[in-house]
Chains A and B, each alone.
Chain A
Amino acid sequence: MNSIIIVQMAVSGAMMGLVYALIAYGFQLTFSTSKSINFGQGELVMLSAFFSLTLLNWGVPYWLMVPGGLLFGVILGLAVERAGVRLALEQKSEGWILLTIIIGLLGFSAAENIWGRDDRPFPTPISSDALHFFGISITPLEISVAVGVFAVMGLIELFKRKTLLGKAFEAVSADRDAAELMGISATRTVMLSYGLSGMVAAMAGILVSPITTVGPTMASALILKAFSVAVVAGLESGFGVVIVGIFLGALESLTSFYLGSGWREAPGLILLILALAVRPNGIFGKASIRKV
């Protein structure tokens, strides 16, 4: 009996873990082109979720709301790049860390005042009646999260591998100068990566909202774990974030079962600090070469 509970906890934890993986994947997208990430990514998740909820309240059907929400995420991602990242990258400074934190804070404040501080339910046509497999119950809602995560990541990976624009994207991450010599504008590629990263954040918001409800603080715990996943897995491997995400999701679900739900954040954070101590470039990351 006990073992079934453990497996059950692990499985539902793993589903949440996929959401962390998706957000972490958003970090990888921008890191690969510009060695920068949006520290306010959690606010992007939250704002897109609120916006999608508003679309639903306006009577937009669910399946039309999804592209609308994603588009909103793209716009936010582009705005962050323009206001917070581009100048710092041009000056080769790390000012973007501070600036993206600040822009996130501004977004948070705006959400608080536009949509209020309360958590709201997010309606979805997907059922949350449990299905049973081998004594383990999974809801279609949880399955939809998994499907959504893999669909988005799969599409983006396909884009990177199969289209020329996607290859250009990889060229910029491999060697920015050489890519410029091929006629690939690095600035535009960085823009594109922030747009995609915003879209990924919006997708995460839409997927997770029916489970967590929508509120200004909905993403603050989520984002910390996504950071952990990104750092533990390394900021290069898409495969790595999925593995680490699933592992972390399961781990924290078990932690909260045994130690109480307040401690659920702890394993991710400890894992992160430990991983940094052992493998600073992440488990799936490559060691970098210092140049003179």
Chain B
Amino acid sequence: MLKRLLLIRGAEIVAFTLLATIPLVVSNSYVLGLLTLLAIYGILLIGLDVTVGYLGQVNLAHAAFLGLGAYGAGLSVSLLGFGMLSALAVSMLIGLVLGGLLAFPALRLEGPQFALATLSFMALSATVLNEWESLTFGAQGLTVSRPALFAHAVNAQGFYWLCLIFLALVWMAMRNLLSSQWGRAFEALRDSPIATDAMGIGTYRHKVIGFALGSALGSLAGGLYAFNFQYLQPLSFTYELMVILLLGVVLGGRKSLWGAFFGASLVALLPNLLSNRLLFEIISAVGLLAALFAGIRGLIKKTTRPFQAIAPIIALGMLVVGGILVKNTEDWRKGIFALMLFSVVVGLPEGLMGFAARFLTRLFRIDPPALPPAAALDTVLPAKVQDIGPLLQLEGLKRYFGGVKAVDGVSITVQAGQIHGLIGPNGSGKSTAVNVISGLYAPTTGKMMLHGKALPMGLFNVARAGVSRTFQNLQLFSELSAMDNVMVALKGVYRTPLPLVLLGLAKGEEKRAQADALALLELVGLRPHARISAKDLTYGDQRFLEIARALARKPELLILDEPAAGLALPDVNKLVEIIRRIHQRGITIILIEHHMDVVSELCDVVTVLDGGKVIAEGSAEEVKRDPKVIEAYLGTTNETAAMTVVK
């Protein structure tokens, strides 16, 4: 525990103390300028990392938020006479609001469309800054005076410390955010947006808020940028800056505060790198050697693909050869950025920090903090009083895909407190049916009612209504640990509002969530593996983990979609035991399964589907004897023969 505190917090404290004391020792205005820039870019890149790293989206609008924040701060000083802090608050607000507004439409999109939308936003904001001349003075530029802070004029040194304080605050707030439920949710939605919605976490909501926060940091950095340079031009906030910022995040290492910090130092130093010929040549040569070494090593060990090994060597080779041939490197700055960024993206996709982290974790093994004792299962999943009557009613449910009638008029009533089996041959519509119930697909027609009320539309809303599910093809959050997989889905634990989370006031509920999650892991026998990431669990344990995660929603209705598929026999027995235990707590279960023995052992009622229609319903024994069921399973040969085979 102490070692952990010393190493992690220690490194941060040392770095910030060092940064703070440099101006006391070195009184060089050039160095001071660089350091100020470093702090500003640090804030900027931490903001960009939220979208690019944590949300996993290519965001091209960040330079625009820097610009909008800068103009916002500058204008609120020159037009409204605001002081330093209120001007910065204005710029942050601009980022938050505009970021939110952009995110609402843009984050309904994936990948390339999102990148296009943000690119357009950047171009739009450049147009506005350029053309709204009555406000921004357009291409002429805007002169900004640095306002007073609490009625004290701020000199260059003081301003640097101010920037550093902001960086430290942002750093701490982000650390608090990322180690809370929010950080887990970000991680989860990148792994499986579908499961994130199905667990009632809300993919969209988290994306929008994350984007707005990141943009707010970008425009806060913009405000500081304005007061640092005291002169703004729309041209500064365009495409090229955007590429450099991306270079910073990717080279520094995504999903890492330290990575953003290293990236920021790189972005701050880059222009100087190009103006010093010797430095440039040394760095490109070192880069080439590193690429050669890593590439050859990767090829021999077969850990990298040929392209991944060779392309960076070619790109950096071009840099070295070009450095010798070209007279003025400044002319080629875009090309140089491009070659450097290319090598990093292809050859070192996890960035410097990701690369370093592999070695650092090996060097300093830090034990994770101890886990709290598991909560009592009765508090996490209180046994319900058996209410009698129908829980879920489906009437005439249909779902067509083009000409294929996957579900073709299904009516089922699931009684509260029962285990309701759903069986049928492949393609009979079982999976489609539960996908419609859980809100993944909208029904073509038909009624669905939970407790007599219409079931809401959409995965997220159905999940919030108390229906939880597992997936036939596992949809775990594979990068998260087993415990985090359960914690992220926990219902009713996280109540701290976002501003308080940023202040670090969510630690208590975090402990409670851990205890609750452990109780659920215990239920499925995964308690000892709480710290192992989901992708490293055995296949059977992954299936059990999905069940535990679904239980974290404290559902009224639990849908298990082929939980025994691919399980070895001992695991099947364990599964039966787990389902029994869940049932004892009064949770109604829909069980889709192919293993007939599992179904007959557990289910109170079994519905058989074939060709999208219900062909039989009754107890497992009744259904097994039904000639229509036998026919559906055995094919259309004569019935007596089939009977003799099944006995």
A interface with B by C-beta (< 8 Å): 31, 35-37, 39, 83, 86-87, 90, 94-95, 97-99, 101-103, 105-106, 108-110, 112-113, 220, 224, 227-228, 230-231, 260, 262-263, 265-266, 268-270, 272-274, 276-277, 280, 289-290, 292
Contacts and interface: CB of A to CB of B under 8 A. Distances in A.
Contact of B335 (A97, A110, A273): A110
A256 to B, nearest CB: 11
B299 interface: no
User: Which are the 7 A-B pairs with shortest beta-carbon distances?
Assistant: A109-B335, A277-B105, A106-B338, A109-B334, A262-B131, A269-B124, A105-B338
A36 B115 CA distance: 12
A105 B35 CA distance: 28
B267 to A, nearest CB: 16
B120 A106 contact: no
A93 to B, nearest CB: 8
Given A97-B58, A102-B345, A231-B117, A276 B124 contact: no
Contacts of B113: 231, 276, 280
Contacts of B250: 98
A265 B116 CA distance: 15
Contact of B116 (A103, A231, A262, A292): A231
Most chain B CB inside 10 Å of its own CB: which residue of A36, A94, A95: A94
B142 interface: no
Contact of B120 (A105, A272, A280): A272
B494 interface: no
B121 interface: yes
Interface in B285-319: 305, 307-308, 311
B342 A266 contact: no
A95 B344 CA distance: 11
Interface of B: 56, 58, 102, 104-106, 108-109, 111-113, 115-117, 119-121, 123-124, 127-128, 130-131, 194, 239-240, 243, 246, 250, 305, 307-308, 311, 326, 331-339, 341-342, 345-346, 349, 401, 435, 440-441, 471-473, 475
Most chain A CB inside 10 Å of its own CB: which residue of B243, B331, B338: B338
A292 B194 contact: yes
Given A106-B338, A109-B334, 20 more contacts: A31-B112, A36-B112, A97-B58, A101-B246, A105-B337, A106-B334, A109-B336, A112-B331, A112-B334, A113-B326, A220-B239, A228-B120, A262-B127, A266-B124, A266-B127, A276-B113, A277-B104, A277-B105, A290-B194, A292-B440
B473 A292 contact: yes
Contacts of A97: 58, 111-112, 115
Contacts of A292: 194, 435, 440, 471-473, 475
Nearest to B343: A102
B119 A227 contact: yes
Most chain A CB inside 10 Å of its own CB: which residue of B106, B117, B250, B472: B117
Contacts of B332: 109, 113
Contacts of A35: 112
23 contacts: A31-B112, A87-B305, A90-B305, A97-B111, A98-B250, A98-B341, A99-B345, A103-B342, A105-B243, A105-B335, A105-B337, A109-B333, A113-B335, A227-B119, A228-B120, A231-B117, A263-B131, A266-B124, A266-B128, A268-B120, A280-B108, A292-B194, A292-B435
Given A109-B335, A269-B121, A102 B243 contact: yes
B211 to A, nearest CB: 14
A227 B116 CA distance: 7
Contacts of A268: 120
A224 B473 contact: no
A128 to B, nearest CB: 29
A161 B42 CA distance: 53
B564 to A, nearest CB: 18
Contact of B123 (A90, A98, A101, A224): A224
Contacts of A274: 105
A106 B246 CA distance: 15
Contacts of B333: 109
B246 A280 contact: no
A263 B138 CA distance: 12
Most chain A CB inside 10 Å of its own CB: which residue of B243, B326, B335, B472: B335
A263 B240 CA distance: 21
A273 B117 contact: yes
Contact of A273 (B105, B246, B338, B472): B105
B120 A227 contact: yes
Contact of A94 (B111, B131, B331): B111
Contacts of A37: 112
A103 B338 contact: yes
Given A95-B349, A276-B108, A106 B102 contact: no
Nearest to B334: A109
Contacts of B111: 94, 97
B335 A83 contact: no
Contacts of B119: 39, 224, 227
Contact of A265 (B105, B123, B311, B336): B123
A106 B339 contact: yes
Contacts of A94: 56, 58, 111-112
Contact of B331 (A86, A98, A113, A266): A113
B337 A83 contact: no
A90 B128 CA distance: 40
Contacts of A263: 127, 131
Nearest to B130: A262
Given A227-B120, A265-B127, A280-B109, A39 B440 contact: no
B58 A98 contact: yes
A254 B307 CA distance: 48
Contacts of A266: 124, 127-128
A273 B102 contact: yes
A112 B473 CA distance: 51
Contacts of A31: 112
Contacts of B308: 87
Nearest to B111: A94
A97 B250 CA distance: 13
A112 B328 CA distance: 13
A106 B131 contact: no
Contacts of B109: 276, 280
A110 B120 CA distance: 25
Contacts of B435: 292
Given A101-B243, A106-B335, A263-B131, A276 B345 contact: no
A194 to B, nearest CB: 15
B127 A269 contact: yes
Contacts of B112: 31, 35-37, 94, 97
A15 to B, nearest CB: 22
A70 to B, nearest CB: 25
